Structures are given as structure tokens and as C-alpha cells.
Amino acid sequence: MHDIKHWIDGAYAAGTSDRHSEVFNPATGEVQARVPLATAAEIDAAVDRAAEAQVGWAATNPQRRARVMMKFGALIQRDMDKLAEAISREHGKTLPDAKGDVQRGLEVVEVCMGAPHMLKGEAMTDGGPGIDLYSMRQPLGVVAGITPFNFPAMIPLWKMAPAIVSGNAMILKPSERTPTCSLLLAELLKEAGLPDGVLQVVHGDKEAVDAILDNETVQAVGFVGSTPIAQYIYGRAATNGKRAQCFGGAKNHMIIMPDADLDKAADALVGSGYGAAGERCMAISVAVPVGEETADRLTEKLIPRIEKLKVGPYTGGDDVDYGPLITGAAKERVEGLISSGIDQGAEALADGRGFSLQGYENGFFLGPTFFDRVTPDMDIYREEIFGPVLSQVRMGSYEDALDLVMKNQYGNGTAIFTRDGDAARDFAARVNVGMVGINFPIPVPLSYFTFGGWKKSAFGDLNQYGPDAFRFYTRTKTVTARWFSGIKDGGEFHFKAMD
């Protein structure tokens, strides 16, 4: 049991509040650390110092700022194992999955190494007679990142790298469930040459978040988490005149057409549905086979794959497929939803409740659950479960399957498995979801594209990372310039009498 600290002005700082949150080891159920929950006064002090540090950082030319990212990227690679271990210890995901978490964040740092190109602005000479126009992208000042528990490296990196390389200072408030990785990243940024105060990592809960939202110096808020909190933060930030992009929850559907390669589809469903115990915003949680025969054949392929899944701690060896849920409360919530599915008439072909692992009886593990014949009125369909639960909704036609996806309140990711290019193109063009996979179950775009959902999966404008991130973290100033006739048109060079 140890005390976690804030990271202020380039050094660890103990919290001054008397409130703490417990950080569990999800595999054993034990409390392994306490994290301080910052007061509003602590947030305000961190913001003030960040505002001072930001002035010098914004005046550092973009190439030098990018060089910090180059070193940062190399240091992340050097410390990959250490970062992954810190993630697995607090989150419970397997080590290869934790490395993927770091890797997908690192890829955004790599794009930030070329940030000067993104910060150039635009120019036009002779836009009018003798009139030149140019636009600049200037940093906002102090910005904030508020991040969820499930990707302790990737999402803080999606926030901090583009914000900082654009010349801003950042207050990062990571999840109080998985706080350590952000601190290790802050250490690495300092080693890479980032001036003290440009990144402040402050832990906290609603009190700290509200203080960020109400602080007049904070210019923008980037949030990732559940939909109700995303909507709340978006509303309060906007009321206070801040830029906000708030990414929320998901219910991602995968349509399986009758012509699909069902072995590939079954592999994809099991990997994306149960990987990381289903605690991914891009997890596929709803399988939508088209036609009864497709559904029956798919079910036959899914069951043995689900039965083979190995659930265990991250220290349990290379063949562990997924680990525990994040907290006992999260496990209870998912168990409650599974019970509701059975009560409401879904067919549980695999039921993960009551799963127990020798030596880890108090861990937050759940076995894989698979529901067939789920209908849209059931709670297990309507709610984001965020656990190792896959629901199958059988649909009679492609149009009905598409309609189901379209009517869902969430629009983060979706996928179609088919051998028919025409169906795939039609789906990609018409579906009202932000990220689409074609024979690809978790379509998280590469870092030079952008990431963002539609409908209740995102509030605000502009996506995360890629070109949108540089737009979000800078404001545009446009200059229109005209020079009147100067000395080239007739300067007088002889000595003139004064009379």
C-alpha cells in the first residue's frame, strides 16, 4: 500500500486535501495504493503555475517543441515494459494488451514529431490588389485533459502530445482508478526536455473536475469517459466559454452478412467482444447476423471459441486472454445486467457469473457471457455493459440490421463482415457512426487520421488526434496586410532645402 502523488512543476507533490480514493489490484481485490483527490484550490494553483510556464513554452519555436516529442517517443519505447506493467498492475489487462495501449498512444506522439507542418497556417499573396493574407495557428494557453480508466497510456497521450507540441500547457486529470501511468509519462516528458509546469498531473474526482471547468484560465477541455459525464462536462465547459470535445460511451454493433467468412467473423467477435474484459469503448458488444441460418452457423462457431477463453491475472502467462474488471462495483454492475438479461428473456448460451480462480478468489473476474436472441427493448441491449458480455440480435435482412445500428443512441464504432463489396460500400456510406470497420472489428483509425464517434458517443466538434487535434488545440488568427507605395516607387535621395 503506497501513497500516489500529484506531479506539479516537474516534481512529485503530496496532496493537501484529506480526501483519497483507493486504487485496487483488480486481480486480488486488494487495495494497493491511495490517490489524493485534489481540492479546487490545488487545481487553481496548478493552473496558475501552468499559465506562467506556458508563456515561455509557446515562445519556443515549433521545431524545438517537436524535438521534445522525438525524445519523448524514444523514451516511451525504452520504458515500454515498465509502462505496460504499471498499466496491468492497476487496470488488470494482460501485458500484451497493455503494450498495445502504450503503442497506440506512442503513434500519436510520432505524428506530433512532425507538428510544425500542422501548425504552419495558410497564406495567399495578392488576395486583393496588393493585399496579402496569412493565418497563424496560435496555442490556446492552458488546456485540460480528463481521461478514463480503461486506456491509462493511450488516452492521456492522445491529449497531452498534440496539446503540448502546439504550445499549450496541460492540466491532466487521469482516472483515479489507474493514475500511475500518467505520472510515469510526465517523468519521461521532463527527461525529454519539457520545461517544468507545462504538464501538471493532478488527481481527483468531481470536485477537481468542476474546479477545472470553472477556472477562467483554462481555455479548453478534452474529455473521454462515460456518456453522462461527457454530456455534463461539455455543458458546463461550454457555459463557461471553453472549447470542449467530450467523448462518451458506446454500443458497437457488428453486422455479419450471410456471405461472410464466419470463422473470421467469430474470431473477430471473440477478440473484440471479450478482449480487455470488454472494457474498451471500441469493443464489439452486439453481433447482428443477417438471417437465421447465418445466426445458427455463427453461434456454432462462437460457442467453442468462448469456452476456450482463458481468464486470469496479467501475471498468469502468455495464454491469458483477458483479466479482471476494474473494481468490485463494476463486476457487480455487470452481474446485475446479466441477471436482467436472463429475466427479460434473452438466451444465455454462456454465463460468466460465479467465475472463480484459485488463488484469486477475491479478484474482480467474470467469465465470458454470450446472449442469443437479444431484443432492443432489453436492458442488456440498451445499456453500455462495459464487461465481457456479447449480445446477439438476429435480424432478417441487411436493411433491418442497418436500421438497428442507425437507431442506437451510440455511434462510436461499427463493423460489417461480408464478401460483398457493394454491401460494404453501402454500409460505410449510410451508417451514422463515426468509425467503420469492413471485415475489421475494432476500427480505431491510425494516428494520422482522427478518432471520434457520432450521436451520444461524442459531444462537441472535432475529433481526437490527427489533423483535428491541431485545430482543437490552436486558434486561428488571420492577418490581412497592405503596404502603401514605398520607397521603391520614388524615394527622394537628394538633400532638400527646408523652405
Residues that are catalytic: 281
Q: How far apart are CA 104 and CA 101, in angstroms?
A: 6
Side chain identity at 161, as an amino acid letter?
Answer: A
Residue placing its CB nearer to ligand NAD in the complex, 236 or 475: 236
Side chain identity at 322, as an amino acid letter?
Answer: Y
Site for ligand NAD in 27-86 (CB under 6 A): none
Residue placing its CB nearer to ligand NAD in the complex, 273 or 453: 453
Q: What share of the chain is helix, strand, coil (3-state, %, to 5)?
A: 40, 25, 35
Q: Does 247 bind ligand NAD (CB under 6 A)?
A: yes
Answer for which of 66, 185, 202, 224 binds ligand NAD (CB under 6 A) is 224
Residue nearest to ligand NAD (CB): 225
CB 112 within 8 A of CB 66: yes
- Give the residue among 45, 69, 55 at the shortest CA–CA distance from 469: 69
Q: How far apart are CA 439 and CA 335, in angstroms?
A: 31
- Supply the minimum distance, in Å, between the C-beta of residue 426 and ligand NAD: 25
Going by the DSSP 8-state scheme, the letter that residue 138 receives in this structure is E
# residues contacting ligand NAD (CB under 6 A):
26
Q: How far apart are CA 439 and CA 424, in angstroms?
A: 9
- Supply the minimum distance, in Å, between the C-beta of residue 116 and ligand NAD: 27
Q: Does 463 bind ligand NAD (CB under 6 A)?
A: no
Task: Kindly state the greatest CA–CA separation across the chain.
Answer: 106
Q: Does 148 bind ligand NAD (CB under 6 A)?
A: yes
Looking at 32-40, 169-177, 308-316, 360-368, which segment touches ligand NAD (CB under 6 A)?
Answer: 169-177
User: Cα-flanking dihedrals φ and ψ of residue 342, to 5°?
Assistant: -65, -45
Residue placing its CB nearer to ligand NAD in the complex, 213 or 295: 213
Q: Does 321 bind ligand NAD (CB under 6 A)?
A: no
Instruction: State how beta strands 413-417 and 410-411 pair.
Output: unpaired
Q: Does 384 bind ligand NAD (CB under 6 A)?
A: yes
Q: How far apart are CA 88 and CA 84, in angstroms?
A: 6
Looking at 43-51, 57-65, 148-156, 347-355, which segment touches ligand NAD (CB under 6 A)?
Answer: 148-156
Q: Does 103 bind ligand NAD (CB under 6 A)?
A: no
The residues facing 170 across adjacent strands are 143, 199
Q: Does 87 bind ligand NAD (CB under 6 A)?
A: no
Q: Does 386 bind ligand NAD (CB under 6 A)?
A: yes
Looking at 57-65, 172-180, 288-296, 303-311, which segment touches ligand NAD (CB under 6 A)?
Answer: 172-180
Answer for which of 166, 252, 412, 447 binds ligand NAD (CB under 6 A) is 412
Q: How far apart are CA 447 and CA 215, in angstroms?
A: 31
Residue that has been written with the C-alpha cell 462515460 in this structure = 226
Binding site for ligand NAD (CB under 6 A): 146-151, 173, 175-176, 205-206, 209, 224-226, 229, 247-250, 281, 384, 386, 412, 453, 457
